[in-house]
Amino acid sequence: MIVSFLGTKGGTGTTTMAVNVGAEARRVTDRATVVMDLKAAPGDVALFLGVRPRFTLTHLLDRLAWRDPGLMAGYLTAHACGVDVLAAGDEWGRPSARDAEGIEATLQCLRSRYEFVFVDAGSALTPTTAVALQSSDLVVLVANPDVPCLRNLQRLIDAVRLSGVSTDQLRVLLNRASEFGAVSMKQIESVLGMTIDWTVPSDYRTVAAAVTSGVPVRALRVSGLQDHIEAVARAIAGDGYEAPAFSPSTATVAPREDSGASQ
Given a cut of 90, is residue 114 above it in pLDDT?
A: yes
Q: All domains of the chain, ordered by start, with CATH? A: 2-241 (3.40.50.300)
Predicted local confidence at residue 263, as pLDDT:
31
Q: How far apart are CA 182 and CA 145, in angstroms?
A: 9
Higher pLDDT, 8 or 246: 8
Please give the average per-residue pLDDT across 143-154, as a whole number: 86
- Beta-sheet strands, E only, within 160-223: 170-175, 198-200
Residue 12 to residue 18: CA distance in whole angstroms: 12
What is d(CA 108, CA 201) in angstroms, rounded to the nearest whole number? 33
Cα–Cα distance between 113 and 117 in angstroms, integer? 9
Coil/strand/helix, residue 134: helix
Average of per-residue pLDDT values in the chain: 86
Distinct helix (H) and strand (E) counts, the chain: 10, 8
Which three-class secondary structure state does DSSP give residue 34? strand
Angle at 27 between CA 25 and CA 33, to 5 degrees: 50
Burial of 202 (0-12, 13-18, 19+ CB in 10 A): middle
What phi, psi does 39 have (nearest 5°)? -65, 145
Nearest Cα residue to 83 out of 132, 33, 48:
33
Burial of 227 (0-12, 13-18, 19+ CB in 10 A): exposed
Q: What is the pLDDT of residues 23-69, one digit of tens each?
A: 999 999 999 999 999 998 788 999 999 999 999 999 999 987 777 77
As a residue count, the chain comes to 263
What is the pTM assigned to this prediction?
Answer: 0.88
SS3 136: coil
**Residue 25: predicted pLDDT:** 97
Residue in 133, 135, 81 with CA at minimum distance from that of residue 107: 135
Contact 202, 177 (CB under 8 A): yes
Most confident listed range (56-70, 92-106, 246-260): 92-106
Q: What is the pLDDT of residue 255?
A: 36
pLDDT of residue 55: 93
